[in-house]
Amino acid sequence: MPSKEIPYKIYLEEGEMPKAWYNLRADMKNKPAPLLNPGTLQPLTAEELSPIFCEELVAQELDETTPFIEIPDEIRNFYKMYRPSPLVRAYCLEEKLQTPAKIYYKFEGNNTSGSHKLNSAIAQAYYAKKQGLKGVTTETGAGQWGTALSMACSYFDLDCKVYMVKVSYEQKPFRREVMRTYGASVVPSPSETTEVGKKILAEHPGTTGSLGCAISEAVEVATKNPGYRYVLGSVLNQVLLHQSVIGIEAHDAMKKYGIKPDMIIGCAGGGSNLGGLIAPFMGEKLRGEADYEFIAVEPASCPSFTRGTYAYDFCDTGMICPLAKMYTLGSSFIPSANHAGGLRFHGMSSTLSQLYHDGYLKAVSVEQTEVFKAAEQFARVEGILPAPESSHAIKVAIDEAQKCKETGEEKTILFGLTGTGYFDLVAYQKFNDGEMTDTIPTDEDIAASIARLPKVD
């Protein structure tokens, strides 16, 4: 058994919680490419963004120079109900693997929404309330973001309209009920309630939807209803900013015990948990103060980094949203129905895309059956039933720990355990029954959607 000087759970005191978010872009020499107006192809201005997003969130979205942005007291007080989140030394997993590696994970599943998404939901709801809005609209894939936003909106007494990808709406009725309990209205997408939904349904009758479709619908509703704005749970710079609370806590807790990670691993859907977890460490790397290895893990069924193209693309299927430069599979790409619903977005955060492009970040893709094997291994010794999304990071953390076993290296590995899997038991059932399959897009599938990228240059 490894030394017990370091406790299983490392907590910061309440008074040690971050007072400011960290804006990684401030330390990037090559800034992420700006969002473009899809009509003029010019960088979007604050005036153009403000009919879609709340004013302060627009300011955060466009701010690439201020390193620290104070967390308002109202948000910090909410954070105190479920943060600081634990940083756990995975002693039991280490022992099981017989690895000399030291494994830590930052666990974000300790709140009712079951994932890290609440960190940004509460911030976005706060700014909407502060602006005097009536409500917000959004999309949700697997349901975690919609759940988090419903909780945040009920806390600040805001109306919340959620467009939920139809396949999840049907497969995850319990998530839907959590959202409704918190007062949100939940509509399966694509729907007949929007122009873009009708158009998508006419073109693809019987479609089970995608995040891109649901985004188009939510944006349409926000821009057509006075007093409403659209909020997004990942991808955007502002979301990465709010999620930096994960990384700052992890960084400070490790520092308190004199621990320095060699390698930081996170699953990547739109990039918000990974961007948040690595933020302060990446800042040190960019400033030349320390070195770390960063690994993004994505599903082989939706491999934006590893098989995508770095280009301007739409964030939505209806092609009404701003254009973002990112690693993308094309906005018309609809991934196969894998079980890591939160990792099924066709693109990737523009900040992480730039860092990946510049070689600061690596990426690997993994198949879902392997991911569930890792989830099972983890659950059996560490006592947490992990979300399928989070289990992508577990899989690669275990692989890296196995490599250490072969080489004898005592690497320190930190990974993000973004949430719990209690609403994913249909997926676990498939796995337990041996019925889980892996679907990997062909080169032709990807080329077909890449061919439809907007022509920008």
Ligand X SMILES: *Cc1c(COP(=O)(O)O)cnc(C)c1O
Residue of the chain from 186, 215, 268, 364 that contacts ligand X (CB under 6 A): 268
Nearest residue (CB) to ligand X, 351 versus 449? 351
Residue 221, Cβ density class (10 Å: 0-12 exposed, 13-18 middle, ≥19 buried): buried
Asked if 390 interacts with ligand X (CB under 6 A), we say yes
Residue of the chain from 302, 418, 427, 449 that contacts ligand X (CB under 6 A): 418
The whole-angstrom separation of Cα 59 and Cα 50 is 9
> In whole angstroms, how close is the CB of 363 to ligand X at the nearest point?
12
Which residues make beta-bridge pairs with 266? 296
Strands (DSSP E) found in 71-211: 87-89, 102-107, 135-140, 159-165, 185-189
Asked if 271 interacts with ligand X (CB under 6 A), we say yes
Nearest residue (CB) to ligand X, 18 versus 347? 347
CA dihedral 304, 305, 309, 314 (to 10 degrees): 50
> In whole angstroms, how close is the CB of 87 to ligand X at the nearest point?
17
- Choose the stretch contacting ligand X; rule: CB under 6 A; options: 68-76, 202-210, 270-278, 395-403: 270-278
Query: Residues 6 or more apart from 206 whose CB is under 8 A from it?
Result: none
363 CB-side CA count, 13 A: 26
Asked if 125 interacts with ligand X (CB under 6 A), we say no
Asked if 277 interacts with ligand X (CB under 6 A), we say no
Asked if 269 interacts with ligand X (CB under 6 A), we say yes
The whole-angstrom separation of Cα 272 and Cα 388 is 16
Site map (CB under 6 A) of ligand X, residues 30-69, x = contact: ----------------------------------------
> In whole angstroms, how close is the CB of 292 to ligand X at the nearest point?
19
Strands (DSSP E) found in 79-207: 87-89, 102-107, 135-140, 159-165, 185-189
Amino acid at 183: G
Strands (DSSP E) found in 108-262: 135-140, 159-165, 185-189, 228-230
How many residues lie near ligand X (CB under 6 A)?
19
Residue of the chain from 196, 267, 279, 355 that contacts ligand X (CB under 6 A): 267
Write the CA distances from 14 to 18, 76, 123, 247, integer angstroms. Answer: 9, 10, 19, 16
Residue of the chain from 382, 389, 400, 424 that contacts ligand X (CB under 6 A): 389
The whole-angstrom separation of Cα 245 and Cα 119 is 8
Write the CA distances from 81 to 99, 224, 440, 446, integer angstroms. Answer: 35, 35, 41, 43
Length of the chain (residues): 457
Residue of the chain from 168, 171, 191, 272 that contacts ligand X (CB under 6 A): 272
Residue of the chain from 209, 280, 318, 342 that contacts ligand X (CB under 6 A): 342
Check whether the bond before 84 is cis (ω within 30° of 0).
Answer: yes
Run of H or E including 81: helix 73-82
Asked if 245 interacts with ligand X (CB under 6 A), we say no
Contact assessment for residue 378 and residue 391, using Cβ atoms and an 8 Å cutoff: yes
Q: How many CB atoms lie within 10 A of CB 153?
A: 28
Residue of the chain from 33, 361, 387, 404 that contacts ligand X (CB under 6 A): 387
- Choose the stretch contacting ligand X; rule: CB under 6 A; options: 33-41, 56-64, 96-104, 387-395: 387-395
- Choose the stretch contacting ligand X; rule: CB under 6 A; options: 183-191, 265-273, 306-314, 372-380: 265-273
Asked if 86 interacts with ligand X (CB under 6 A), we say no
Nearest residue (CB) to ligand X, 135 versus 270? 270
Amino acid at 106: K
Asked if 335 interacts with ligand X (CB under 6 A), we say no
Site map (CB under 6 A) of ligand X, residues 89-108, x = contact: --------------------
For residue 97, give both structure tokens.
């693997």
Nearest residue (CB) to ligand X, 115 versus 353? 115
The whole-angstrom separation of Cα 261 and Cα 381 is 22
DSSP single-letter state for residue 419 = B
Nearest residue (CB) to ligand X, 139 versus 159? 139
Asked if 391 interacts with ligand X (CB under 6 A), we say no
> In whole angstroms, how close is the CB of 385 to ligand X at the nearest point?
12
Q: How many CB atoms lie within 10 A of CB 3?
A: 7
> In whole angstroms, how close is the CB of 342 to ligand X at the nearest point?
3
Asked if 164 interacts with ligand X (CB under 6 A), we say no
> In whole angstroms, how close is the CB of 14 to ligand X at the nearest point?
25
In the numeric block, the tokens 């080169």 are attached to 443
Nearest to 165 by CA among 210, 198, 199, 200: 210
Asked if 117 interacts with ligand X (CB under 6 A), we say yes
Residue of the chain from 60, 111, 115, 301 that contacts ligand X (CB under 6 A): 115
Binding to ligand X, residues 174-213 (CB under 6 A): none
Nearest residue (CB) to ligand X, 175 versus 251? 175
The residues that touch ligand X, with contacts defined as CB under 6 A, are 115, 117, 144, 234, 267-274, 342-343, 387, 389-390, 418-419
